[in-house]
Structures are given as C-alpha cells and as structure tokens.
Amino acid sequence: MITQEAPPRGATHIRTFHPRRGRIGATRADALARLWPRYGYDIDSAYENSAYKTSGHADFDPAALFGREAGLVLEIGCGMGDATAAMAAADPGRDYLAVDVHTPGLANLLALAERGDLDNVRAARGDAVELLRDLMKPGSLGAVHIFFPDPWPKAKHHKRRIVRPDVVALIRGRLVPGGVLHCATDWAPYAEQMLEVLSADPGLRNLSDGYAPRPASRPVTGFERRALAAGRDIYDLIFARK
C-alpha cells in the first residue's frame, strides 16, 4: 500500500495559484449570501475548527457536507463553475466539491447549482492543497479533476505548477483504488510535464497510451473555446490509482 504522509500545516508550501480579486455583481452577491451558509465550505475556518489542528487526524466529512454517502469528485480550480455544474447535472449519483480562491466564480457556481436544482454541488474557498493535506482522509475521493490550471509559463515559476510530484502523490493518496485523476491543459509544455510527472508516479497508471482522447463527459468551457480559437491544442491526461 502506497501512503502519503502530509506535512503539518505551516510547513513550507509553494502556492499554486495567484490570489484573485474580482467584482461580484448583484446576482452573484445575492447567491453567495443566500447559499454559502448551506453549500459553502471555507477551508481556513474548517481547519481552525478541525481535529487535525489538535490531533493530526483529518476530519473532513463528505456525508455531513452533502447529506448523504456517495462518491466524491474534487474539482480543483472551477473557474466560473460552468463545467462543474454541467458534470454534476450529468452525474447525479456522485457529489462534486469545487475548490477555488476566486469568490465570484464560486458565487456563480452556486447560482448555477440553484438554477439547475443540483443538490450534489458544494463550493469550497481556499487552497486545494491544504484541503487535501490537512482535512481529507486517505482514500476518500472517487476522482480529482484539474482542468486548465495556471501553466506558470516562466521557468522560474514552474515550481508553482499544481501538477508536480509532491502534489500528485498527495492527490493519489486521497483517491480510492481505481479512483481517477483527470487533468487537461491547452499549454503544450505543461502537458508534456504533466505526462512525465503522472507517468513517473508509482501508484498511478495511464488509462491511455500517452494523452487521452477528449472524453465527452468533460464539458467545453468558454476558456477552452478561446484556446481553440487561438489555435492551441487541448491535452487530456487520465490516470487511475493502482
């Protein structure tokens, strides 16, 4: 059995994202105010009130958050939430937790979930790596999606890419056996690094020969359409925990 020991909170942690600011329009502000108390999850607040802080034992409880026992999909970086909402609507038997630091995007996701009457969607605000490391139990995730993460194109910033060996090992440890890590990017050099890092992890196996055919289950977002219009190829990588 391959395990991943999580370092304590406060240990050196390279951020994988830019802090983002954005205006929240009236509709999204209303959705956030009404829906966050029920459907939102603040990672920093959860840690301050968690057993991990005092005992080192992760205590994130999907059943308490969603009100049922079901397979859990973690969406890391949900943008404006369009893809998350569409996948949750097409996959009602599983629950979707979308993590981002962009409050307007989380608010929009909640508004989409309400409009679509989706009770299998929740939004988490904060650092996904800290959620995985400090609050989630091993083997608690059925799938993890990382769609179009920041490519950090400058060489000096490559260490900030989320698909790197230490984070991949952490994600793999939180997946159930057979659980899937699905990544997608429109940045060719990052796709090459993703393929190298994922292929090198001893606890993962590639479900395709190299890059995966684009699965119909991954919705096309506005970001992806703009990338295609700019002439950039899209690369999907789908690996499963052994």
Domain that residue 185 falls in: 26-241
Among the residue ranges 7-21, 47-61, 153-167, the one predicted with the least confidence is 7-21
- The CATH number of the domain holding residue 85 is 3.40.50.150
- The average pLDDT across 88-113 equals 96
Residue 91 inside a domain? The answer is: yes
- The average pLDDT across 25-30 equals 81
- Residue 139, pLDDT > 60, answer yes
Given the residues 59, 150, 166, 233, select the one marked as catalytic.
150
**What tokens were used for 201?**
């992890």
- Residue 147, pLDDT > 50, answer yes
Question: Which of 26 and 185 is assigned the larger pLDDT?
Answer: 185
Residues 55 and 171: their CA atoms lie apart, in Å, by 22
- The average pLDDT across 48-52 equals 85
Predicted pLDDT at 234: 97
Residue 192 inside a domain? The answer is: yes
Predicted pLDDT at 158: 84
Banded pLDDT at 3 (limits 50, 70, 90): very low
Predicted pLDDT at 187: 95
* Total domains in the fold of the chain: 1
Give long-range contacts, CB 8 A cutoff, 24+ apart: 87-90. 87/145, 87/217, 87/218, 87/219, 88/113, 88/118, 88/120, 88/121, 89/116, 89/118, 90/217
Banded pLDDT at 119 (limits 50, 70, 90): very high
Residue 104 inside a domain? The answer is: yes
Residues 228 and 134: their CA atoms lie apart, in Å, by 37
- Residue 127, pLDDT > 90, answer yes
Residue 20 inside a domain? The answer is: no
Residue 19 inside a domain? The answer is: no
Residue 120 per-residue DSSP state: T
Banded pLDDT at 19 (limits 50, 70, 90): low
Predicted pLDDT at 120: 98
Residues 192 and 31: their CA atoms lie apart, in Å, by 39
Q: Are 59 and 53 in contact (CB under 8 A)?
A: no
Nearest CA-CA partner of 80 in 37, 25, 153, 41? 25
Banded pLDDT at 149 (limits 50, 70, 90): very high
Annotated catalytic residue 61: no
- Residue 210, pLDDT > 90, answer yes
Residue 15 inside a domain? The answer is: no
Provide the mean pLDDT of the chain: 90
Residue 21 inside a domain? The answer is: no
- Residue 50, pLDDT > 80, answer yes
Q: Are 222 and 198 in contact (CB under 8 A)?
A: no
Predicted pLDDT at 7: 43
What sections of 49-115 are H helices per DSSP? 51-55, 62-66, 82-90, 103-115
Residue 14 inside a domain? The answer is: no
Q: Are 55 and 77 in contact (CB under 8 A)?
A: no
Predicted pLDDT at 10: 46
Among the residue ranges 125-129, 152-156, 190-194, the one predicted with the least confidence is 152-156
- Residue 27, pLDDT > 50, answer yes
Among 20-34, 51-65, 194-208, the range with the most confident prediction by mean pLDDT is: 194-208
